Amino acid sequence: MERIKTAIVGASGYTGQELLRLLLAHPNVELVAATSRQEAGKPLSAVFPRFRKLPGADLPFMEPDPDAIAATGAKAAFLALPHGVAAEIARALLQRGLKVIDLSADFRLRDAAVYEGFYDHPHKAPELLAQAVYGLPEIRAAEIAKADLIASPGCYPTSIILPLIPLLKARLIDPATIVANSMSGVSGAGRKADLSLLFCECNESARAYGIPKHRHLSEIEQELSLAAGEDVVITFIPHLIPVNSGIASSITAKLRPGAAAAAVGEALAAAYADAPFVRLLGQGVCADTKNVTRTNFIDIGWAHDARTGRIILTSAEDNLGKGAGSQAIQSFNIIFGLGETAGLQLA
């Protein structure tokens, strides 16, 4: 099979590096463009020595010019850019006939006003919002397969939405009682100079941040509301923990009157029986980040607290993997009719 010519726009950050790691080894991909304003002209292997001697690692970084990217023959582009930056280049690449998989937040929300409320600036391509498909493969594979523009989900949202959607659809839990506590590795903040992210500031420390209105709350509530068929408003408390990568989420919600706790396990099993990257741990088993880092898996466990009538869901994923780069590749595989696990089995 002819390999698919592919570009990464914004390839020098943590998520870009993860995309490089996976796409350089993907059996169906030919990486033809990797952009970085700061590193333009340097080979990938010079900026990231870990890739030395990998086929394709001598490709030089280039400027993020849409015409130059299209001239490489790329059929698809992954955008690993900050929110507010991705929208305009996404528009330009779509106009040049590329499939676009955006890993920023620019196309995750359906309402431009909600985007502006959470991201503090007007959306730069609001006409594309209706076209974008929220790229959660376990929920929207059929839509992803036909899409030109994928809005790949955020890391925290993936860890919260996947455990909750089957329970909301089955009307097992009361949406008004949902509380989600999540802990993320420092790479989730991006590859940048920031005093709060220095080693001495993060090591031997754990702290909540972004409360009460973390930006990811907008897409979490959007997707949970769609699943529940009603407006869902939740409490979300993110934390920074001193690890490089990984997200652990603990989510609680009250069972609806008459709902049986055993139905929780049944709903999860029915929803994800054929999902290659969802691993259900069963009742009483807690998810652990050490088992998912550098993979595309999300592990989900659950328990019933009979004293409070609450269900406790736990999930673990890699924020750079299932929460970012490898999940985007999972959508890429679906778009191009590849096996969903192509290039990700050993991720």
Q: Is it true that domain 155-317 has CATH number 3.30.360.10?
A: yes
Q: What is the pLDDT of residue 242?
A: 87
Residue 204's pLDDT band (boundaries 50, 70, 90)?
confident
Residue type, 186: V
Give the CA angle between residues 137, 59, 72 to the nearest 5°. Answer: 70
Residue 1 in this model has a pLDDT that exceeds 90? no
Average pLDDT rounded to a whole number, residues 32-47? 96
Q: What is the pLDDT of residue 321?
A: 96
Average pLDDT rounded to a whole number, residues 252-281? 97
> How do the domains of the chain map onto residue ranges?
4-152+324-335, 155-317
Average pLDDT rounded to a whole number, residues 209-215? 93
C-alpha distance across the termini of the chain, in Å: 22
Average pLDDT, the chain: 95
Q: What is the pLDDT of residue 346?
A: 62
CA-nearest of 48, 136, 149, 110 to 323 is 136
Residues 6+ apart with CB under 8 A from 182: 156, 159, 160, 236, 237, 238, 239, 247, 248, 249, 250
- Contact criterion met (CB below 8 Å) for 150 and 93: no
Enclosing H/E stretch for 149: strand 149-151
Which residues are bridge partners to 100 per DSSP?
77, 149
Identical fold between 4-152+324-335 and 155-317: no
Using a pLDDT cut of 90, give the percent of the chain over it. 90
Q: Does the active-site annotation cover 200?
A: no
Average pLDDT rounded to a whole number, residues 253-262? 96
Average pLDDT rounded to a whole number, residues 255-264? 96
Fold of 4-152+324-335: Rossmann fold (3.40.50)
Residue 264 in this model has a pLDDT that exceeds 80? yes
Residues 6+ apart with CB under 8 A from 335: 76, 99, 101, 144, 145, 147, 150
Q: What is the pLDDT of residue 2?
A: 86
Average pLDDT rounded to a whole number, residues 147-170? 98
Residue 192's pLDDT band (boundaries 50, 70, 90)?
low
- Contact criterion met (CB below 8 Å) for 158 and 326: no
Q: What is the pLDDT of residue 166?
A: 98
Using a pLDDT cut of 70, give the percent of the chain over it. 97
Q: What is the pLDDT of residue 73?
A: 98
Residues 6+ apart with CB under 8 A from 1: 28
Which of 155, 200, 202, 286 does the annotation list as catalytic?
A: 155
Residue 193's pLDDT band (boundaries 50, 70, 90)?
low
* Burial profile 273-309: b = 16 or more Cβ within 10 angstroms, e = fewer: eebbbbbbbeeeeebebeebbebbbbbbbbbbeeeeb
Residue 191's pLDDT band (boundaries 50, 70, 90)?
confident
Residue 25 Cα to chain centre, angstroms = 20
